[in-house]
Amino acid sequence: MTYKAINTLDSMVGYKDEEFRHIGWASARLDDAANFLPARLSGFLIALSSSILGGPGKDSLRILLRDHARHPSPNSAWPEAAMAGALGVQLGGWNYYFGQPSQKPFIGDRIRNLERKDVKDAWKILYLSSFLMLLLALAMSWLLEGFF
């Protein structure tokens, strides 16, 4: 519940406008801190999942390690870079926020253009990554049970 409250506060007021600048800054930084480990773990699980599914796991890991620092967000580029490498595509470029154009750096190598099938491939990687995270959480819970 605490994590969801942090995330919701960031979504609602994180850097939105001058009126909420101080609370927005704090909620955005708190959200960054709360997502620090999960974002990095997600990136590595995406690379592992890509490899398990017969994809380019090594390329996913290479792009993850190379491109994660290109993104303005300290966290979102980790899974984004891993997925770009897993799919063999380039992500980023122009996007629009509140009707305003915003240029983001490119992440990944443009081996080929995005295709409709990439959505299904990304879902497969996402589902396997989520399952691996569940297994990891259960294992950690089991291991820590003896300590507490």
User: From the first residue on, what is the mean pLDDT of each consecutive set of 10 residues in the chain (148 residues)?
Assistant: 80 66 76 92 98 96 95 90 96 85 91 93 98 96 82
CB atoms under 10 Å from CB of 37, counted, come to: 10
Quick one: pLDDT at residue 45?
98
Indicate whether 24 and 97 sit together in one domain: no
Nearest to 33 by CA among 82, 96, 75: 75
What distance in Å separates the CA atoms of residue 125 and residue 123, rounded to the nearest whole number? 5
Number of domains in the chain: 2
How confident is the model at residue 62, as a pLDDT? 97
- Do 121 and 51 sit in the same domain of this protein? yes
Distance, in Å, from the CA atom of 121 to the CA atom of 125, rounded to the nearest integer, reads 6
pLDDT at residue number 14: 63
85 and 107 assigned to the same domain = yes
Are residues 67 and 121 located together in one domain of the fold?
A: yes
What pLDDT shows up at residue 16? 59
Rounded Cα distance, 83 and 125, in Å: 8
Give me the pLDDT at residue 15, please: 60
